[in-house]
């Protein structure tokens, strides 16, 4: 049987799901719901719109599952794994139902606050619900 890249991603996802009880402490710390509160490093002209977008954004971590909700879009669901941790910076690899892999970069400020690193040095500040 020929193994496709999708097969490999599926196998990795299943293995990640089966190891839910052995999660890294950083993964356990992410569990729960986080809501957007503010933004950093946005142009003044875009600040009001970006802040409104941030306040409508949320992450929900449940086990290895992640749900990302942003305004005016359908929620996105995926299975994530921690691929890098350096100081307070986490990189997550997220696999969605269509087999697409994306990277999510976070900075953990404390137990109740984190920042989603966007592009060009911009961040979205999130608080735990």
Alpha-carbon span 79 to 95, nearest angstrom: 5
The average pLDDT across 73-87 equals 95
Quick: pLDDT tens for 94-127: 999 999 999 999 999 999 999 999 999 999 999 9
Q: Domain ranges for the chain, please list them.
A: 5-128
Quick: pLDDT tens for 35-73: 999 999 999 999 999 999 999 999 999 999 999 999 999
pTM over 0.75: yes
For the segment(s) 5-128, the CATH number from 2.60.120, 1.10.238, 1.10.620, 2.40.128 is 2.40.128
Confidence of residue 22 (pLDDT cuts 50, 70, 90): low
Mean pLDDT (the chain, rounded): 87
Confidence of residue 30 (pLDDT cuts 50, 70, 90): very high
Q: Is the pLDDT of residue 4 over 70?
A: no
Q: Is the pLDDT of residue 3 over 60?
A: no
What's the sign of the alpha-carbon dihedral 108, 113, 115, 116? positive
Q: Is the pLDDT of residue 12 over 80?
A: no
CA 74 → CA 22, 42, 119, distances in Å? 31, 24, 22
Q: Are 105 and 89 in contact (CB under 8 A)?
A: yes
pLDDT at 121: 93
């Amino acid at each position: 049987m020929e193994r496709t890249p999708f097969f490999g991603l599926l196998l990795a996802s299943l293995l990640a799901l089966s190891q839910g009880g052995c999660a890294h402490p950083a993964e356990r710390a992410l569990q729960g719901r986080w809501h957007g509160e503010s933004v950093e490093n946005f142009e003044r002209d875009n600040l009001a719109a970006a802040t409104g977008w941030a306040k409508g954004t949320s992450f929900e971590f449940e086990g290895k599952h992640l749900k990302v909700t942003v305004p005016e879009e359908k929620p996105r669901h995926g299975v994530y794994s921690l691929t890098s941790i350096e100081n307070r910076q986490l990189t997550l690899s997220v696999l969605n139902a269509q087999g697409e892999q994306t990277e999510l970069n976070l900075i953990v400020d404390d137990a109740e606050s984190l920042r989603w690193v966007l592009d060009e040095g911009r961040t979205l500040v999130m608080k735990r619900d």
